[in-house]
Structure 1
């Protein structure tokens, strides 16, 4: 139940409850909250049991798509793309095709990157160019 609520949030709720309800009413409010949560859980479990009894094997077929959706919580798009593009490829970047350059290590040194185009500065009162496709 408290998967997404950390200890910091619980502490803030307790301190706020202490200020709002006071130290004499806080224990009774906590007991009431605990009983209410327990009762809601019992209702939910009873409803699930009753559905399972009435629907029979169709209940499991109904739950299967929901379980598949739960599996998407841990979905990592980077891993999925990497697995799709490079699955089964022992050399995805083509590193084995580098030629021997005679220095004994069997690989050519990386090529120098192309020279960067110098940045042109604007004059003090000059307006920047506008790209109508970008706006």
Structure 2
């Protein structure tokens, strides 16, 4: 509920409360606010416990769909498709080679399947002569 309130806003509220209520009444108002928040929490906890006692074992069955809906907030379609397609196998696209090694600790591979640093394609250091076409890599398109 108060996820968007930061320390800056809290500081502004304290300073505003200090000016509005004065230094004499501010500690009393803060204590009243703390007691009120504690009462609301106790009421919510008591209501949840009372509902759990009255419903019994069916309470967990009612909570399961709600938890499933909460999990949809954290749904990552890219991860879900990858897990569904590869069923936990090594990712052939090389997306799991973030730290430089494969899932089994071997050397990382490029997305085209070649190992990092392999000399599968010749490298040219001199520029192409005029009129010569550059080599084409069909995997790069």
TM-score normalised by L of structure 2: 0.58
Pick closer, same or farther for the CA change 1:49–1:7 going to 2, 3 Å.
same
Q: How many residues align?
A: 108
Partner of 1:24: 24
The aligned residue for residue 71 of structure 1 is 71
Report what 2:107 is aligned to: none
Once the two structures are TM-superposed, the CA of residue 92 in structure 1 deviates from its matched residue by 2.9
Deviation at 1:70, TM superposition (A): 2.5
Q: Which residue of 2 aligns with 1:59?
A: 59
Check the 8 A contact 1:52/1:59 in 2, yes or no: yes
* Superimposed CA distance per residue, residues 87-108 of structure 1 (whole angstroms, 9 cap, x where no aligned partner): 6464338613x8xxxxx81137
Q: Which has the higher contact order (CA 8 A, sep 6+)?
A: 2
What SS does the corresponding residue of 1:33 show, helix, strand or coil?
Answer: helix
Give 3-state SS (helix, strand or coil) of 1:5's partner.
coil
Runs of 5+ consecutive residues of structure 2 not aligned to the other structure: 95-110, 123-134
Query: RMSD of the TM alignment (CA)?
Result: 3.4
1: distance between equivalents of 2:6 and 2:41?
21
C-alpha change, 1:33 and 1:72, in structure 2 (3 Å) is: same
1:106 aligns with 2:120: yes
How far, CA to CA, are the matches of 1:107 and 1:35 in structure 2? 72
Does the Cα contact within 8 Å between 1:86 and 1:92 map onto a contact in 2? Answer: no
TM-score normalized with structure 1 length: 0.60
Query: Is 1:91 aligned with 2:108?
Result: no
